[in-house]
Amino acid sequence: MLQSFNANNRVAIAGAGAIPPLVTLLTSGTVGAKEKAAGTLGNLALNDKNQVSIAEAGAIPSLVNLLTSGTAIAKEKAAGALWNLAVNNDKNQVTIAEAGAIPPLINLLTSGTTDAKENAAGALRNLAANDKNKVSIAEAGAIP
């Protein structure tokens, strides 16, 4: 959804009610739909209010699931969405960690595509803004 790259459109797309159907696609869509939904949610999450709406719609567990069960592209897009959902959002940082995202994000650092590695590193960076997550990230093996 190219329109989700525009800041004004992020607000309009969310306001039109697109977030819940996109979250549904993360679990019930085709392979391509899951990839596109994760990417679009990641773009929409660049807006602070959308971060809250996306989390409240239940996207985080589905995005974490894609980190392990999705295609290479889905993993990349899910990591990017989690990266953006964790930007300056303490609640999402905790929710993402509690959903089990840290181990698969660390795994992507070595096994993912180049973009997946970058997205996973960004997500872990933002998750590490939370002190408890710093410990969890270290304990999960992110620091050799």
Q: pLDDT for 85-137, tens place per residue?
A: 999 999 999 999 999 999 999 999 999 999 999 999 999 999 999 999 999 99
Angstrom distance (rounded) from CA 107 to CA 116: 10
pTM: 0.94
What is the pLDDT at residue 3?
A: 59
12: amino acid identity, one letter = A
| Phi, psi torsion values for 87, nearest 5 degrees | -65, 115
| Cα 26 from chain centre | 11
CATH architecture group of domain 2-139: Alpha Horseshoe (1.25)
What is the pLDDT at residue 2?
A: 45
How many other C-beta atoms can be found within 10 angstroms of the C-beta atom of residue 8? 9
- Digit-coded pLDDT (tens) for 30-62: 999 999 999 999 999 999 999 999 999 999 999
